[in-house]
Amino acid sequence: MNNLKVSILIPLYNAEEYIAETIDSCLNQTYKNIEIIIIDDGSTDSGLNIAREYEKKHTNIKVEAQKNSGAPVARNRAFALATGDYIQYIDADDLLHPDKIRLQMEVLKTADDRTLVFGRWGTFQKSIENVIWKDLPVNKNYDDPTRFLIELWTSGMAVITHLWLVPRVLVAESGGWDESLARNQDGDFFARVVIKASNIVFVKDSIGYYRKDNENSISNQISRKALQSNLKTFETYIELMKDDMEKTEVRRSLALIYSRFLYRIPPLHKDLTLECKRKMNSLGFKKPLNTLKTDERLLSYFLGTYRMFQLKKSIKSILK
């Protein structure tokens, strides 16, 4: 198994404050047959120079620069350069536990070449000593990838990008990252990867750390383009489930996605709100499903749902 190579692919954009720590977490993997490919996406800070310094010192690191085109373009370019049997994606501000890849590769020793593995994750700010662990209802093994997607969408939670270790063949068959998307790129990509897998294995002690204090993170976007990208990815989900749409649980999981998203659309984008409602109607639901907690429902009643979420976001920012 040690003869199998893992390619770690990193899109880099204005992450000078974090990229060295991210690269170190990759170099410190206890599974040693790795290569690291970094694609700089037109950074205007010193992040590219930092990556170049690592490239000079390590023969298994390759750095390439492109004009600013977005993370999906950078990831697709990195995959084109990759020579590994398995693919490890990670953003330029996140971290891997030293045993992350080794533990997953141990599981893959007895698996077929279409087995997909993922691990456990936590969020942190500044230091992983302050990590907050996320316990997902999907943290278990699945013989049916469709069941995984249904339960993930129903939960409203996510398996973040760098938790996965992906067989090269699944990346190739998925068609790669959708370069037109400005948001939910990972949700779209991994849904297409999951549906191609033979089975999915959860490796409890395989850990990834997700940084929450990077203000440049794409997850902070709320532009119209970002909102439209989200809606486009939901269309992908529906297409992936087209053969199971007669099942109520499938339609309900998709309706929950639209319901949660509806609450986050600013009032000025009424056409997107109407589009969400039409989609829910087509799934057999005449009104949004209730996805709010009791305290959120009360705030929503007085402030409006979108303003309620903005207020909670502002409070979290103040308390950092």
Residue 54's contacts (CB-CB under 8 Å, 6 or more residues apart) are 20, 23, 61, 63
Q: State the pLDDT at residue 286.
A: 86
pLDDT at 56: 98
Q: pTM for this one?
A: 0.89
Rounded CA-CA distance 51/39 in Å is 9
pLDDT of residue 214: 66
Contact (CB, 8 A) for 182 and 221:
yes
The SS3 of residue 123 is: strand
Q: pLDDT per position in the chain (320 positions), as tens? A: 568 999 999 999 999 999 999 999 999 999 999 999 999 999 999 999 999 999 999 999 999 999 999 999 999 999 999 999 999 999 999 999 999 999 999 999 999 999 999 999 999 998 998 899 999 999 999 999 999 999 999 999 999 999 999 999 999 999 999 999 999 999 999 999 999 999 999 999 999 999 988 666 555 557 899 999 999 999 999 999 999 999 999 999 999 999 999 888 888 899 999 999 999 999 999 888 865 454 444 444 444 555 545 555 665 554 45
Token pair 């760098």 in the structure block, residue: 162
Q: In the structure encoding, which two tokens stand for residue 310, read together?
A: 């903005």
